[in-house]
Structure 1
Amino acid sequence: MAINYQKVAFTASYGLPSQVPASTLPEVSFVGRSNVGKSSIMNKIFNRKRLVKVSNTPGRTQNINFFNAGIADFVDLPGYGYAKVAKKDKDRWRTLIEGYFNQDRRFALCCVLIDIRHDVSELDKQMISFLLAREIPFMIVFTKADKMSSKSAVRRQMAKLVKQLSASGDAVVVATSSLDGTGIDDVRTLIEDAIAQARA
């Protein structure tokens, strides 16, 4: 069953994992470093301009935000690794992310977003190891592919980063751009396949 992305709607925001109600639908979550372009990619997937708030200041997603797509929920998790926030904020965001994933929920897919222009960070590796340990399905979404000089440069850089992510095993990887739409249809297809599998 295809998702009508035009009808995706914001439903709730939670500041503590304990506030998040039990899941009743398959959930597709998005996680990544604070400046990875998560909100922009989500808006592109939803084919909307401002549904997910985009800020020029990294680290502005401070809660767990839910969006309903009828047959599934999309979950926007706080970004991690932004250096210019207080340690207490970093600790709270980590608590939110881990608290969400440690719950017994209907995890359909986690999209781990990584900026294709930079080497994989230790925090990214930790996030993926965390998901693997909990057997949560995930895919790797490389963002900002439009910033690379050519398609061949994108392929070379993807190969390099995948090698750095050797612990991720056979994870699906897609290069995307929120500006020109590169890879967005592929991400939508993978999301819909994961939701269908979770609903089966």
Structure 2
Amino acid sequence: MLFNQATFLTSAANLRNLPKTQLPEIAFIGRSNVGKSSLINAIVGNAKIAKTSKTPGRTQQINFFKLPEFIIVDLPGYGYASAPIKVIQKWQEFNLEYIKNRQQLKLVFILIDSRIGFKELDLNLIEQLNEAGVKCRIIYTKVDQLNKSEIEILKSITTFNDRYPLLEPNALIASSKNKEGIERIRKVILHYIIS
């Protein structure tokens, strides 16, 4: 399976517009400006397929990228964004509708900025995913901005509280800039789409 065969499939702003495919889906979500689009670009080896921006809240619809045997899903970020509050609430509600109703969704990667760590919004999301019966896994992003000892501390964080049974215990680390962790993430994706 070649990750570099990704193509943009569609964007959706409501459940009616979701693509009608049966391919397994792997979704990426995180706080605004956590680096979702940059990470997706690194995973598929295309620096321009997912639009990136320094403006929080650039992704305002669910974007779907098709690969030969699965789909990568870029969900709008949560938390602060440069958009009206009602618009933010609308896309965050849509995120949850998609997560709760999408049968072919195999895994949600929750991206955490390695320089900031977990916030209450991240924990709330993990709880919502567990309630919806959706498996999830943490990816710490932007690790190229940490020193070696900080990276080692992140690598040592391998288990999470038992109150989140659908949160996979092993966190991943990644840098879109120097491609650290990208191959590992690809292997995890392949594991979930064939299992």
TM-score, scaled to structure 2: 0.91
Structure 1 position 23, deviation (Å): 4.2
Give the distance between the partners of 1:143 and 1:62, measured in 2 at CA: 20
Give the distance between the partners of 2:90 and 2:9, measured in 1 at CA: 22
Aligned partner of 2:2 in structure 1 is 4
| Aligned partner (choices 184, 187, 190) of residue 189 of structure 1 | 187
- Note if 1:95 corresponds to 2:93: yes
CA contact (8 A) 1:107 1:137 kept: no
Give the secondary-structure state (helix, strand or coil) at the position aligned to 1:128: helix
CA contact (8 A) 2:38 2:50 kept: yes
Greater RCO structure (CA 8 Å; 6+ sep): 1
Structure 1 position 133, deviation (Å): 1.4
Q: Residue deviations 1:88-109, cap 9 Å, x none? A: 0221121110110121421111
Aligned length: 192
| Aligned partner (choices 59, 62, 70) of residue 61 of structure 1 | 59
Structure 1: runs of 5+ lacking an equivalent: none
CA contact (8 A) 2:55 2:82 kept: no
| Aligned partner (choices 132, 152, 156) of residue 155 of structure 1 | 152
Aligned partner of 2:172 in structure 1 is 174
- Note if 1:105 corresponds to 2:103: yes
TM-score, scaled to structure 1: 0.89
Aligned partner of 1:13 in structure 2 is 11
Structure 1 position 183, deviation (Å): 0.7
Give the distance between the partners of 2:76 and 2:18, measured in 1 at CA: 14
What amino acid sits opposite 2:151 in the alignment?
Answer: V
Root mean square deviation, CA, Å: 1.8
Give the distance between the partners of 1:63 and 1:156, measured in 2 at CA: 35
4+ long deviations beyond 3 Å: 157-160, 167-170
Give the distance between the partners of 2:93 and 2:116, measured in 1 at CA: 26
Q: Residue deviations 1:147-168, cap 9 Å, x none? A: 0011x311214556x67x5344
Give the distance between the partners of 1:104 and 1:83, measured in 2 at CA: 25
What amino acid sits opposite 1:100 in the alignment?
Answer: Y
What amino acid sits opposite 1:48 in the alignment?
Answer: N
- Note if 1:117 corresponds to 2:119: no
Q: Residue deviations 1:5-31, cap 9 Å, x none? A: 111100100111232144411100010
Give the secondary-structure state (helix, strand or coil) at the position aligned to 2:126: helix
CA contact (8 A) 2:33 2:54 kept: no
Aligned partner of 1:72 in structure 2 is 70
Structure 1 position 83, deviation (Å): 4.9
Aligned partner of 1:134 in structure 2 is 132
Give the distance between the partners of 1:64 and 1:53, measured in 2 at CA: 12
What amino acid sits opposite 1:154 in the alignment?
Answer: I
Distance 1:106 1:119, change over 3 A: same
CA contact (8 A) 1:140 1:174 kept: yes
Structure 2: runs of 5+ lacking an equivalent: none
Give the distance between the partners of 1:154 and 1:55, measured in 2 at CA: 25
Give the distance between the partners of 2:30 and 2:43, measured in 1 at CA: 16
What amino acid sits opposite 1:8 in the alignment?
Answer: A
Give the distance between the partners of 2:60 and 2:103, measured in 1 at CA: 21
Structure 1 position 85, deviation (Å): 2.9
Give the distance between the partners of 1:133 and 1:159, measured in 2 at CA: 27
